[in-house]
Structure 1
């Protein structure tokens, strides 16, 4: 029997890894071997993460990349990576390092070289940047802040439900690293966008995303222009940053699955 292709889901800030469960169930049903390991320091459940917010504090981009690289090294084959927000940046870094067969980066955080962030993105991250000491702390969002950063394209009721179900504290360090990336030649937010030997990459964007506006994703796409590897862009015009966890998640997941098949990355190796 041919082994199933591994898929590793990588969450971003303020969401627990268990928020990927519907995707895991879908991809497993399609014949893949999916998993969603948390970031270094992530407790096993949403409740534990809220009770122990400092367990993930002070973990930066390189820490997270090394964490997932070690997990990938234990897999039977290079996986497909599916990342959201900062998880999308992490997926791109790992793909650029030739550690993955392909990557789907959904509303991925800005990488080094992207233009300054639009005002909506700055407002979304203000809970972190308002205090420089947050670089070494974990920061939680209020329901109102989550509504602006994640749930602006869905009903207030659904946003509140998602907030209660999935949100956890997040380390401030990755945001500070990304914000200063263009002033640091050795920034952790740098991605190898010129690697022509890497696997295919799909950049997905929500057209109403406040946290990672479509303009940021298009700026990232432009950075790959010197690579001959497959790099494609897909937008969901009516969707916000919650697109992987809200009631419309299946549309996004099905689009990712269709794209993977088009890249000859079906479930079985």
Structure 2
């Protein structure tokens, strides 16, 4: 799926600015618009922020909810290639910030030598990660248990969203986040991640030994049910073998909604500090 005209316009503007670009990569059940506060913050700090969508993503949450099947069948490699195309169109290697499956994709792109600096927030597990807590299986169950219906997108109920995403915020805020941000998603990436260690050709494989990977920060929410802290720590131990800078930050009391809920700025500040510390290299 080629880049959209809107995505190309963002890339052209970033190139014209001469600023260091920051590419934001969203995960399942969100659209790229969920990064807007982050984009504003990084723009204020002198970066050129862009947020491509996944292939075929609708422009608005309302459009997404009215046509859930537009998300069906999207696979990790297809989405990674879409972001790689965007990065290749930039004049300089970008900072890449990803959340959830976006965090996995950010690490895949880093392993392919496309990123200057990478931040993966609550990143979905890549091939070789063996930690698989019960809470992660429960959070992924809405997709895993209906995988045979792969022609359809899956929409979480509020109760499922509350367990997997907003367990660490008050219910009133959780319901508001569900209405504002939640969209249907492809079930396939969850199945790909869950079966990766049994598949020699798994699309969730990350090249962790590329010496040109660049600095990497992994951020975990300590109360995340969807990507529990132990999963991120497992990824960190694997990535730590790379000679490049690899750091881990665990944020207490935060769940999977940490990039969109009322505490997003704490996570963004951790991200920004790491990026500013390393991007000048």
Q: Name the TM-score, length of structure 1 as normaliser.
A: 0.96
Shift of residue 116 of structure 1? 4.2
Match of 2:139 among 106, 116, 124: 124
Shift of residue 184 of structure 1? 0.7
Contact 2:131 2:230 in 1 (8 A): no
Match of 2:80 among 41, 65, 70: 65
Deviations 1:218-250 (A, max 9, x none): 000111233101111001011100000000000
Alpha-carbon distance in 2 for matches of 1:167, 1:142? 10
Alpha-carbon distance in 1 for matches of 2:276, 2:240? 23
Residue 30 of structure 1 is matched in structure 2 by: 45
Number of aligned residue pairs:
266
Residue 205 of structure 1 is matched in structure 2 by: 220
Residue 90 of structure 1 is matched in structure 2 by: 105
Residue 12 of structure 1 is matched in structure 2 by: 27
Contact 2:87 2:93 in 1 (8 A): yes
Alpha-carbon distance in 1 for matches of 2:28, 2:123? 11
Alpha-carbon distance in 1 for matches of 2:81, 2:37? 26
Deviations 1:175-216 (A, max 9, x none): 111111000111001000111222111000000000000000
Residue 107 of structure 1 is matched in structure 2 by: 122
Contact 2:97 2:103 in 1 (8 A): yes
Tell me which stretches of 4 or more aligned residues in structure 1 moved more than 4 Å.
Answer: none
Q: Taking structure 1 as reference, are residues 155 and 130 closer, same or farther at Cα in structure 2, changes over 3 Å only?
A: same
Residue 79 of structure 1 is matched in structure 2 by: 94
Alpha-carbon distance in 2 for matches of 1:212, 1:135? 23
Contact 1:136 1:172 in 2 (8 A): no
Alpha-carbon distance in 1 for matches of 2:147, 2:83? 27
- Do residues 166 (structure 1) and 204 (structure 2) align? no
Alpha-carbon distance in 2 for matches of 1:170, 1:219? 26
**Structural mapping, 1:187-198, within 5 Å:** 187-198=202-213
Match of 2:152 among 120, 124, 137: 137
Q: Cα RMSD between the aligned structures?
A: 1.4
- Structure 1: segments with no counterpart, 5+ residues: none
Match of 1:242 among 257, 267, 271: 257
Q: Taking structure 1 as reference, are residues 136 and 2 closer, same or farther at Cα in structure 2, changes over 3 Å only?
A: closer
Contact 1:57 1:172 in 2 (8 A): yes
Deviations 1:70-126 (A, max 9, x none): 111111111110000000000000010011111100000001011141000011011
- Structure 2: segments with no counterpart, 5+ residues: 1-15
